[in-house]
Amino acid sequence: MARRSDHAPEELKRLALEAGRAIVMEEGLRGLTVRRVAERIGYAPGTLYNLFANLDDLIVQLNAATLDALAVVLVEAARAELAARPERLVEAYFDFVESRPRLWSLLFEHRLPEGEDLPDWYRPKLAALLGLVAEALGPLMPDQTREARQAATVTMWAGLHGISTLAVTSKLTLVAETEPRALGHLLVRRMLGGEN
Amino acid sequence: MARRSDHAPEELKRLALEAGRAIVMEEGLRGLTVRRVAERIGYAPGTLYNLFANLDDLIVQLNAATLDALAVVLVEAARAELAARPERLVEAYFDFVESRPRLWSLLFEHRLPEGEDLPDWYRPKLAALLGLVAEALGPLMPDQTREARQAATVTMWAGLHGISTLAVTSKLTLVAETEPRALGHLLVRRMLGGEN
DNA sequence: TAGAGAATTGAACACCGTTCAATTAATGCG
DNA sequence: CGCATTAATTGAACGGTGTTCAATTCTCTA
């Protein structure tokens, strides 16, 4: 078990992900290259292939960390009293997106090569995130079946994603004078059966 | 005005876009390269730079054509009698996405470099598409202000986009057993103030 | 037919992801 | 303590990428 310096493999991986994160935050996906990550941590490009299968793998792990961070802020928002939860969750979601737009963009901008799909450990992460929201908002849809509540939650989730994506890529300001955040609130209110 | 063969500049541009379209339909954004497009139309790579500013420009024009095609099918769906329009529009949208998933994906997968924004002629195209939907569904929201109707329309638009994106990248099957299409109907029903 | 001028080429440049034989350095052992 | 083992690390190499631009080819006009 020899190593160049005092970086254990796990530590090195953490460093590489942190470097990748910094690059994405500064320049987005287009600036993220194997060589740049390697340079930033003071290693040769080849070394990264001991830690990750390839660049796609690194990106997927970067995205997993972003999902974890999102989960943290959503859990916090879900602590609010029942009536306030929808608004708090929407606020937390948009705060997150606006505070790290490029990192959040990476979540959806990056696509695995044709035919490859996300690793098995990714699925539970996503499911947990959705489950968290579903559980927080479930009591607000009492007269619905479990399936209906799940469908409503997923629709809200996808809807917020859609609004944010269009906003971040400025394809929304092209057609809407309303703030994305307000659209998010509107969406959730209506999906929960609100009257206005 | 000398040319290698019988292709006028406009014709050549059309050919290049058609070649790009074919590549994207077969392999998605990852397969679309300047060299491949050039090879497909029997020209040298350099020639494409007489037709387009760069690859991004070619992709934007490809996307514009996709938007036009989407407009055509939505216009057709909007012809339905008022009560049937929401369902017809959702069906038309998903039919479009499912019939050309990779072409539709390109619409949102591609991002211009940091700081560059979409050309001026792109904005009206998007606005027209949204306007079309807003006009078709406006009568179903009679007790709303113009701004509220616009906001609801944009939210539906973004929501359908979100649902489709997650579905195409199979990040939806990970968490939802419901068909994306059904989620789209649910979204539109609720946004229009439907009770179920 | 000669010249002008536009379209087209393709080599060159600087990058990219990825591989892998060679090198380096730390460890366990005698 | 010194040496052999073994693992981490390197960096050159390969085939690709977008893009540029001097040189070439071709067509039209005079």
Statement: the CB of B33 is under 7 Å from strand C: no
Strand C nucleotides in reach of protein CB atoms, 7 A cut-off: 5-12, 15-21, 24-27
- The residue ranking higher by pLDDT, A188 or B6, is A188
Q: Which two tokens stand for residue B141?
A: 């929201």
Contact in structure between A119 and A59 (CB atoms under 8 Å)? no
Distance A30 CA to C16 C1' (A): 11
CB contact under 8 A, A177 and B147: yes
What is d(CA B95, CA B156) in angstroms, rounded to the nearest whole number? 17
State the virtual CA torsion across A68, A74, A79, A82 in degrees, nearest 10: -140
Statement: the CB of B1 is under 7 Å from strand C: yes
Distance A8 CA to C26 C1' (A): 13
CB contact under 8 A, B191 and A190: yes
> Among 3.50.50.60, 1.20.120.160, 3.40.50.300, 1.10.357.10, what is the CATH number of B54-191?
1.10.357.10
Statement: the CB of A192 is under 7 Å from strand C: no
> Among 2.130.10.10, 1.10.4000.10, 1.10.10.60, 3.40.30.10, what is the CATH number of A1-52?
1.10.10.60
What is d(CA B155, CA B187) in angstroms, rounded to the nearest whole number? 9
Q: What is the mean pLDDT of residues B183-193?
A: 95
| Residue boundaries of the structural domains of chain A | 1-52, 54-191
pLDDT at B5 over 80: no
How many Å is the Cα radius of gyration of chain A? 19
Q: Give nearest nucleotide to B58 (CA–C1').
A: D18
CB contact under 8 A, A174 and B127: yes
Compute the nearest-CA separation of B169 from chain A (Å).
Answer: 7
How many Å is the Cα radius of gyration of chain B? 19
Compute the nearest-CA separation of A45 from chain B (Å).
Answer: 22
In sequence order, what are the residues at sequence separation of 6 or more whose Cβ sits closer than 8 angstroms to the Cβ of residue A8?
A: none
CB contact under 8 A, A159 and B162: yes
Q: What is the mean pLDDT of chain B?
A: 92
Distance B122 CA to D27 C1' (A): 36
For residue A181, give the nearest of A194, A193, A191, A166 by alpha carbon.
A166
Give, for all 196 residues of chain A, the pLDDT tens digit. 345 665 677 889 999 999 999 999 999 999 999 999 999 999 999 999 999 999 999 999 999 999 999 999 999 999 999 999 999 999 999 999 999 999 999 999 999 998 899 999 998 999 999 999 999 999 999 988 999 999 999 999 999 999 999 999 888 876 677 899 999 999 999 999 865 4
Contacts of B114 in chain A (CB under 8 A): 27-28, 30
What is d(CA A168, CA A101) in angstroms, rounded to the nearest whole number? 7
What count of other Cβ atoms lies within 10 Å of the Cβ of residue A170? 11
Q: Closest partner residue to B161 among A30, A147, A162, by Cβ?
A: A162
Q: What is the mean pLDDT of residues B126-148?
A: 93
* Residue A3: per-residue pLDDT: 55
Q: Closest partner residue to B111 among A109, A158, A174, by Cβ?
A: A109
pLDDT band at B9 (very low <50, low <70, confident <90, very high): confident
Q: What is the pLDDT of residues B138-167, one digit of tens each?
A: 999 998 899 999 999 999 999 999 999 999
CB contact under 8 A, B159 and A154: no
What is the DSSP-derived secondary structure letter of residue A129? H
Q: Closest partner residue to A152 among B30, B126, B186, by Cβ?
A: B186
CB contact under 8 A, B159 and A187: yes
Nearest chain B residue to A164 by CA: give it: B158
Statement: the CB of B4 is under 7 Å from strand C: yes
Q: What is the pLDDT of residues B64-106, one digit of tens each?
A: 999 999 999 999 999 999 999 999 999 999 999 999 999 999 9
Q: Give nearest nucleotide to A49 (CA–C1').
A: C18
Statement: the CB of B14 is under 7 Å from strand C: no
pLDDT band at B1 (very low <50, low <70, confident <90, very high): very low
